[in-house]
Structure 1
């Protein structure tokens, strides 16, 4: 290194040391003067003026008494070379009310070089902002929380009391706790990450809601999800995997800024896990944390405050401390589409509520998941999302997959618990519920009959079938009482539609009678080779009833192995395939290979959709 280079490096080091030294001295002065419990190192004596900052009677009732005795919140300030910004930030932290709690403050100052004749004297790592976020915190326990503050932010005097109340309500209260919540943002919500998503708007009576998007201007992090993310990040980084999530605005950010920013990584993780963040709705562009959007990595020049800072809880038009039970709070995905979580039917009486939440013009699609691999199921759901098919209910055995799908907002039916309930109330004889084929047939019949009685028309399909056209909503089909496939003059029920009517209700009643009037061995003995019990009984009953049946030519149902991208061409003389199928026991790798060739394999190695697809509502 030349003497000039050594001199430049020395000057940069001196500048950095001066900035850090000034910052430490400023912080010590500010906190020694005005805040007894915000610690750089050791607790200090009380401040007689603390009560003047926030009225004690305005604090929420929930607080320290609900928290664990090991509860600890650490404030992490991420700073660079913006002395005015960080001074303003520290001053706002100093003025906050900590209610006699001991709160640790950690200040992270990124290194920076000096400019000489348009060139940087010391190289600057481009990923330092990302590294600041990722390296700032590793939870020491499940009772330690981090509040991340960038240096161009200002905090409300009430921010700590509010965060403490949130933690008490939605982390320590078991009735409101959900492992799906990774933290809370105090910034004003204003950004929808999914391209072509809905406008970010909630009603004026809502104070809190859950939204998948992370908020970097005042983000509270819960310990367990953050640990999970850091391990996930390290694993993906070591394998050279990029945080690409098609359909997200942040995907463009990553392509431009690469490893300067950390949010695309966290967003990809959130999408994979199905996690959510708490947000406030304080009206009139008000917030408990405000970014001044000073010039830096994200902004080329100073923009100014993004919101109006709340300095007092004495707000006549809202109750700042309102924190409703979790079951009353709305959830929104990256498209700001409302998500109805935990819709899991375990009793026949619960079916009506779920039907009403999914129907489209009183029509629903019942999807059988029996003996279908997880990857096939999740890929089908991505297909449904792409095709904007929303009126479906998933039916399967009690598995971790079914519970996870319900948690993520898919309407589901637990066949095992449903059958137990029907056995308990006398709808099903216990001797039939022990035979798997009978179990499926009975569950199908009871769900379909119940749906028809509630005036819902219903499709029955299986997860090894993918529609290539909108057959579930085609009016040319749905005017008929029933729709079935026809192969060699034989009726098949791989794709079945029943319109709600007296005739179809009578048909399902007949099926149930036939299922229960014989012994299991005699019913199974009557089956033709390769037939399933439910399909055989439906087809037998249909031949005894005289109502309009629409038969779909089975040539329109194409095996995935023989389907090509040209098969759907309208110029082809061949029949246009409306559904793809494969045997349920077909190897997953084979199905993946075929669907990949058709651009219809839409999940990644973690079984998450590779794209966020928004349909405005």
Structure 2
């Protein structure tokens, strides 16, 4: 009996050690998956923690859209079945559109045979990874309905991989997709509600007319791009539901997905409801959403379209990319960078820098270094300005290719939404608090006015220190030309238009000498003093009045601008485009009703937003 005991003892010790290791390992794992953080912004990225596994409710469904191409369906299904699904349960739903019924009896039999051959093949196809569902339509619905009706998410943990039948996927695709979902959906530090999914196709198209070329450096593996990818798109559940409801509302009201300046709008005008992408593109532009793309170099991708003859191609064009397989891997395909380090690109393939919210002088200095290397900056005061007017102003900035601007407004959801779309903003509340102005005696509405005055003064000082000329304009102004390109005759250090609160400060040695001493402190003192006087009028408690008074005391030369010569004031009366002439801006009273502002600007063809408060056009200016 001694011999057997000697053999049993080591086994007991090994089993005990394994139990202790297993218990410790299990206790170190999170007990539940943290919910996605809906307030996540790029302002304060936190280090990328260890990736978290999806919840037990994680569901992945392949949505294969087929029509009348048996060879295409065969190739697609075989490639899907050859992928490594890591032991996960993955479902396959196949949608076979019916051929168009016609009076041509001679072709009906052949079309029936073709359709039935596809149904027979799909019926007999062995899918061992999960459930297989075949939906054979009784009538022809077209490509748009095939996409839009293929999926309604069953939960926030269900993901759809939509595949048209002429696609072929890499055997590596699922491992890569799951890693993306783990890192950018279930990882709270990398989650953004403004990412609608990921595509496996290679980026090869810029839809904005006259946009930049697709150029990425070899180090860029993942990036964000607004364009949806129809050749292997993974859809996230919440944005897709949101899109479907948005689509229903717009379609029911007869609103078309027109977005001027986009190639896809031309497609829609030609093909109409045969295609769905213009609808989704308009939705993306409205919401400011982005898609995850991969850059595998050498024209490689995890999904390849063979571009077989069909709705999109009159004749077969052949594969658009090289299929990336394990034998050609020369990098770690599962390496995921944190979201904070990824580049973002719009429909023009211009880089977008989201999350630029300035809260103090140090952040303002950092922001100025990220702006384009032009001589001038627009500082736009949006205090008290409606969202519609602010969005319309930004659409005109895009049209005029004004890229150097900073928006200032109190803290609000609207302000942060502008920032996450890539517009640089100053949170006036936090900015003013950071410079120690809590001792001000002003209260109520006048204090809000003073915050705006002081924020402008500090920003101008910082701009002059960084050698930028500064235009200060109100949200109740709309430019019709780029003043920065036409200010060559502004030789004076300062220019003003009292009634407009329009102010220009040139970066020069003399202006710097004035502004960088104790000038801002004097602005603070004078504004605070005026606010405490009951007799202080609106004109006296204004940025232009305060600064002009102090500049004159310093002997500065100030040029007075006649606003009636350069601008057109709109009011209650009708205006026509001819009345605009060569005016450089239009302006209106802050007391004017929103409906009247919109009506007058529409008459001048200067209202550039839709009911979603998004631009009606995408305007690309090549970098």
Could you state the TM-score of these two structures normalised by the residue count of structure 1? 0.83
Deviation per CA, 1:149-186: give whole Å up to 9, x if none: 11111100000000000001111111111111000110
1 CA distance for matches of 2:531 and 2:290?
Answer: 52
1:528, distance to aligned residue in structure 2 (A): 4.1
1 CA distance for matches of 2:144 and 2:414?
Answer: 33
Mark the runs of 5 or more structure 2 residues left unpaired by the alignment: 1-47, 112-136
Q: SS at 1:418's partner residue? A: helix
Residue 350 of structure 2 is aligned to residue 337 of structure 1: yes
Cα–Cα, structure 1 residues 245 and 118, in superposed 2: closer, same or farther, change >3 Å? farther
User: 1:395-414 counterparts in 2 under 5 A?
Assistant: 395-414=408-427
Cα–Cα, structure 1 residues 522 and 112, in superposed 2: closer, same or farther, change >3 Å? closer
Residue 380 of structure 2 is aligned to residue 380 of structure 1: no
1:371, distance to aligned residue in structure 2 (A): 0.7
Deviation per CA, 1:186-225: give whole Å up to 9, x if none: 0111011111111112111111111111110000000010
Residue 618 of structure 2 is aligned to residue 612 of structure 1: yes
Cα–Cα, structure 1 residues 79 and 516, in superposed 2: closer, same or farther, change >3 Å? same
User: 1:85-104 counterparts in 2 under 5 A?
Assistant: 85-104=72-91
Residue in structure 2 matched with residue 183 of structure 1 by the alignment: 197
Aligned residues: 542
Q: Which of residues 451, 459, 477 in structure 2 aligns to 1:447?
A: 459
Mark the runs of 5 or more structure 1 residues left unpaired by the alignment: 1-60, 486-490, 570-575
Cα–Cα, structure 1 residues 155 and 64, in superposed 2: closer, same or farther, change >3 Å? farther
Residue in structure 1 matched with residue 567 of structure 2 by the alignment: 557
Q: In 2, are the aligned partners of 1:79 and 1:110 still within 8 Å (CA)?
A: yes
Choose 357-366 or 340-349, whichever is displaced more: 357-366
Residue in structure 2 matched with residue 504 of structure 1 by the alignment: 511
Residue in structure 2 matched with residue 495 of structure 1 by the alignment: 502
Residue in structure 1 matched with residue 470 of structure 2 by the alignment: 458
Residue in structure 2 matched with residue 11 of structure 1 by the alignment: none
Q: In 1, are the aligned partners of 2:530 and 2:540 still within 8 Å (CA)?
A: no
Residue in structure 1 matched with residue 53 of structure 2 by the alignment: 66
1 CA distance for matches of 2:95 and 2:531?
Answer: 75
Residue in structure 2 matched with residue 472 of structure 1 by the alignment: 484
1 CA distance for matches of 2:527 and 2:605?
Answer: 47
1:525, distance to aligned residue in structure 2 (A): 4.5
2 CA distance for matches of 1:111 and 1:283?
Answer: 39
Cα–Cα, structure 1 residues 99 and 266, in superposed 2: closer, same or farther, change >3 Å? same
Q: In 2, are the aligned partners of 1:113 and 1:120 still within 8 Å (CA)?
A: no
Residue in structure 2 matched with residue 429 of structure 1 by the alignment: 439
2 CA distance for matches of 1:117 and 1:137?
Answer: 34
User: 1:286-365 counterparts in 2 under 5 A?
Assistant: 286-312=300-326, 315-316=329-330, 318-365=331-378
1:126, distance to aligned residue in structure 2 (A): 6.4
Residue 93 of structure 2 is aligned to residue 106 of structure 1: yes
1:347, distance to aligned residue in structure 2 (A): 1.8
Cα–Cα, structure 1 residues 313 and 545, in superposed 2: closer, same or farther, change >3 Å? farther
Q: In 1, are the aligned partners of 2:52 and 2:183 still within 8 Å (CA)?
A: no
1:568, distance to aligned residue in structure 2 (A): 4.7
2 CA distance for matches of 1:239 and 1:296?
Answer: 31
Q: Which of residues 71, 74, 94 in structure 2 aligns to 1:84?
A: 71
1:81, distance to aligned residue in structure 2 (A): 1.6
Q: SS at 1:444's partner residue? A: helix
1:560, distance to aligned residue in structure 2 (A): 2.2
Residue 225 of structure 2 is aligned to residue 211 of structure 1: yes
1 CA distance for matches of 2:452 and 2:282?
Answer: 37
Q: SS at 1:443's partner residue? A: helix
Cα–Cα, structure 1 residues 606 and 550, in superposed 2: closer, same or farther, change >3 Å? same
Choose 321-330 or 114-123, whichever is displaced more: 114-123
Q: In 2, are the aligned partners of 1:477 and 1:483 still within 8 Å (CA)?
A: no
Could you state the TM-score of these two structures normalised by the residue count of structure 2? 0.82
Cα–Cα, structure 1 residues 610 and 125, in superposed 2: closer, same or farther, change >3 Å? farther
1 CA distance for matches of 2:465 and 2:540?
Answer: 27
Residue 378 of structure 2 is aligned to residue 391 of structure 1: no
Residue in structure 1 matched with residue 120 of structure 2 by the alignment: none
Residue 583 of structure 2 is aligned to residue 577 of structure 1: yes
1 CA distance for matches of 2:205 and 2:228?
Answer: 10
Deviation per CA, 1:479-499: give whole Å up to 9, x if none: 3311112xxxxx556211112
Residue in structure 2 matched with residue 484 of structure 1 by the alignment: 496
What do you get for the CA RMSD once the two structures are aligned?
A: 2.5
Q: Which of residues 62, 66, 70 in structure 2 aligns to 1:75?
A: 62
2 CA distance for matches of 1:522 and 1:133?
Answer: 60
Q: Which of residues 556, 559, 581 in structure 2 aligns to 1:547?
A: 556
Choose 218-227 or 198-207, whichever is displaced more: 198-207
Q: SS at 1:154's partner residue? A: strand
1:235, distance to aligned residue in structure 2 (A): 1.2
Q: SS at 2:188's partner residue? A: coil
1:66, distance to aligned residue in structure 2 (A): 2.4
Q: Which of residues 290, 294, 297 in structure 2 aligns to 1:283?
A: 297
